[in-house]
Structures are given as structure tokens and as C-alpha cells.
């Protein structure tokens, strides 16, 4: 492992160890202090990562796309002196974190660490997005936040040396659901100011068909996210919202999960094929968190995701070689 990447990894690992220790010490009765502690840990994590970026990578933090403090994004891009500098503007990986629609942060190591270390030195820009969360912001509005962030990022892309027409959406867990839903309704997003994007990588969502999940035994977090109204379930279901002309999608799914996200992915893929669209399923013998954290490490898994990314655009494929 190169020294800069090893330093990046060690910094994130040390921060996660601090988080685990601090959270273990926090008691349920200390809710206000626990909240402040989590905020401090997130801040320290972001600082550690900013100080240990791989060689040739710079980071612009907390770019606003709305007035709320959660409506922010971090931009990782090649340094001006990087050997990857090109007259052709950079493709963009637009990353949306998970956390059950209630937790998570754009700066977490498993969200950005390996993806930044692999793709930005190859001439990509990676944008990691925060959005407002439950219980204050319903899931329907969270998708609107992600769309607003996408529009804002595309509008500013040229200032970062990036190409607004070469965006690839990516999300994990709850973030995977949000980007899948946005992708399903792409024509609506285009009418509301987004540029067409190349495609979307969905990292292990088990709610591609929300009504099917809600009518079966399910985890309580889904009740928090989707409530009890079947009309709301339909409105937030990528399967039911999929529109003819939506960009291609690759759905990575864990074969280890008891709730069988691969079954959901395969069902959606058949539905998309029936509408004349493109959808791929990539089963992986990895846990839910590993699918996120290990993407970017040299592996058959990473290469399979990159094969999909490269199939979307010749310039993306050239930079992944």
C-alpha cells in the first residue's frame, strides 16, 4: 500500500477507534452530552482525514447547497499540479452516505476513504453529500435534498475542473435507496434543473420495492422511514417510480443479509428490462458495511463496479484503465 494511502487509512482507523471508545462510555441517560460527543467525534474524524489525504488530492469542505447546516457537500479533486491534469474535464462520482435515513455523515471513512484513494488520483472528482435526516426531515424531502445537491454540484462542476454531464451517482444503504429513487425519476429531475447523468451505482439497498417490504415482517427503522400510508410507500419505491428513459443502474447486493437484498435487486432489474432500460445486479459475498468500506480496494468487486462505470462513458473508461 502506498505511504500516502496508508496514512489516510491509519488516520481514519484511529478516528473510528476513538468513536467506538467514546460511544461505549456514553450512557443512555446522557443524551445531550452524547449528541455533543458524536458531533465532536465527527468533527475530529473530518479533520483527521483532511490532514491525511493521498498525494495529489485536495478537499473542499462544506460547500453549501441550501441554508440548513446539513445541506453541505465535500469535494475531493486532483490538485492542480497532479499528473492526472487533463484538458478534458473530470468525471464525477457523486456519493450519498447511508445510516438508516437518521444517521451518517459525508466524512465517514467507510464512505469516502477507499473511493477517494482509488479514483481521485486517476482524475475523477468525488463529491460526498450530507442531507437532512429523520426525525426532522422525512425521506421524501431527503430525496429532494439529494437532488438539490446534485443540481448545485453540476452547476459548479466547471469551477472544480469537472464535467457536469459526466456524473455517476452512488449511494450506500439509505443513500442507495435515495439515489435509486432519484434515478428512477430522472426525467422529473431534468425538468427541475439537473443535467443528464451517466448512471447510478446502488450499494446494498433492501428497499427497492417499498410496499413489498412494508407488507412483510420488517425492521422497525422502516416504519420510521416509510410510515403506514401505502400511497407514501409507492411514492418512495424505486420499483414503482421507475420511468422509461432512466439512466442505467448497477445494484450491488450482499448475499449474507437475511433480508435478501439481491432478491429485491433482481426483481427491479427484471422490471427495468421490461421497460427497455438497463439494470445490472452484482451479488457480493460481503456484509452490508463491507460493501461500502471495501469499494475502492483492489479486488474483483471494485473492478466489476469499475467495469459498469467504464461502460457508461469512454472518458470514464480511459481514466479507469
Tell me the per-residue pLDDT of 2-54, one tens digit each, with 9 for 90 and over. Answer: 544 554 554 444 444 433 333 333 333 344 445 445 545 555 554 444 447 89
pLDDT of residue 28: 36
Co-location of 134 and 208 in the same domain? yes
Q: Are 271 and 242 in contact (CB under 8 A)?
A: yes
CA atoms of 200 and 216, how far apart (whole Å): 27
Structural domain for 264, as ranges: 56-320
Co-location of 168 and 219 in the same domain? yes
CA atoms of 321 and 303, how far apart (whole Å): 10
pLDDT of residue 224: 97
Radius of gyration of the chain (CA): 19
Task: List the one residue out of 122, 110, 116 whose CA is nearest residue 294.
Answer: 110
Co-location of 98 and 193 in the same domain? yes
Co-location of 308 and 168 in the same domain? yes
pLDDT of residue 159: 97
Co-location of 65 and 38 in the same domain? no
pLDDT of residue 63: 98
Co-location of 270 and 210 in the same domain? yes
Q: For residue 293, give the CATH number of its domain.
A: 3.40.50.1820
Greatest C-alpha distance within the chain: 56
SS3 for 215-284 is HCCCCHHHHHHHCCCHHHHHHCCHHHHCCCCCCCEEEEEECCCCCCHHHHHHHHHHHHHHCCCCEEEEEE
Reading the chain (321 residues) residue by residue, the pLDDT tens digits are 554 455 455 444 444 443 333 333 333 334 444 544 554 555 555 444 444 789 899 999 999 999 999 999 999 999 987 656 567 999 999 999 999 999 999 999 999 999 999 999 999 999 999 999 999 999 999 999 999 999 999 999 999 999 999 999 999 999 999 999 999 999 999 999 999 999 999 999 999 999 999 999 999 999 999 999 999 999 999 999 999 999 999 999 999 999 999 999 999 999 999 999 999 999 999 999 999 999 999 999 999 999 999 999 999 999 999
Co-location of 172 and 232 in the same domain? yes
Co-location of 206 and 172 in the same domain? yes
CA atoms of 84 and 123, how far apart (whole Å): 5
User: Which of these three, 9, 29, 52, is where a domain ends?
Assistant: 52
Domain count, the chain: 2
Co-location of 153 and 26 in the same domain? no
Task: Return all residues near 261 (Cβ < 8 A) that are at least 6 apart.
Answer: 204, 205, 206, 208, 253, 254
Co-location of 45 and 99 in the same domain? no
Co-location of 60 and 47 in the same domain? no
Co-location of 72 and 197 in the same domain? yes
Task: Give the pTM.
Answer: 0.86
Amino acid at each position: 500500500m502506498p505511504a500516502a494511502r496508508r496514512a489516510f487509512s491509519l488516520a481514519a482507523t484511529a478516528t473510528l477507534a476513538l468513536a467506538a471508545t467514546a460511544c461505549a462510555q456514553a450512557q443512555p441517560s446522557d443524551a445531550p452530552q452524547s449528541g455533543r460527543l458524536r458531533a465532536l467525534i465527527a468533527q475530529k474524524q473530518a479533520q483527521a482525514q483532511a490532514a491525511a489525504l493521498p498525494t495529489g488530492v485536495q478537499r473542499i469542505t462544506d460547500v453549501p447547497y441550501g441554508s440548513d447546516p446539513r445541506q453541505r457537500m465535500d469535494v475531493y479533486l486532483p490538485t492542480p499540479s497532479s499528473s492526472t491534469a487533463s484538458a478534458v474535464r473530470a468525471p464525477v462520482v457523486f456519493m450519498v452516505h447511508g445510516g438508516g435515513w437518521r444517521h451518517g455523515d459525508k466524512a465517514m471513512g467507510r464512505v469516502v476513504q477507499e473511493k477517494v484513494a482509488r479514483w481521485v488520483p486517476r482524475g475523477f472528482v468525488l463529491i460526498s453529500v450530507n442531507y437532512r435526516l429523520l426525525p426532522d426531515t422525512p425521506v421524501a424531502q431527503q430525496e429532494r435534498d439529494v437532488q438539490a445537491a446534485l443540481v448545485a454540484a453540476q452547476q459548479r462542476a466547471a469551477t472544480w475542473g469537472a464535467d457536469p454531464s459526466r456524473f455517476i451517482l452512488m449511494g450506500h444503504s439509505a443513500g442507495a435507496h435515495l439515489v435509486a429513487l432519484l434515478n428512477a425519476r430522472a426525467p422529473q429531475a431534468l425538468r427541475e434543473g439537473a443535467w443528464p447523468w451517466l448512471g447510478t451505482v446502488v450499494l446494498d439497498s433492501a428497499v427497492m420495492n417499498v410496499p413489498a417490504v412494508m407488507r412483510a415482517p420488517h425492521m422497525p427503522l422502516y416504519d420510521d422511514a416509510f410510515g403506514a400510508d401505502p400511497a407514501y410507500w409507492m411514492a418512495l419505491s424505486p420499483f414503482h417510480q421507475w420511468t422509461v428513459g432512466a439512466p442505467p443502474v448497477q445494484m450491488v447486493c450482499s448475499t449474507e443479509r437475511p433480508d435478501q437484498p439481491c432478491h429485491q435487486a433482481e426483481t427491479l432489474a427484471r422490471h427495468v428490462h421490461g421497460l427497455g432500460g438497463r439494470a445490472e445486479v452484482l451479488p457480493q459475498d460481503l456484509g452490508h458495511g463491507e460493501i461500502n468500506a471495501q469499494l475502492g480496494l483492489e479486488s474483483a468487486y471494485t473492478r466489476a463496479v469499475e467495469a459498469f462505470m467504464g461502460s457508461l462513458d469512454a472518458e470514464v473508461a480511459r481514466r479507469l484503465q
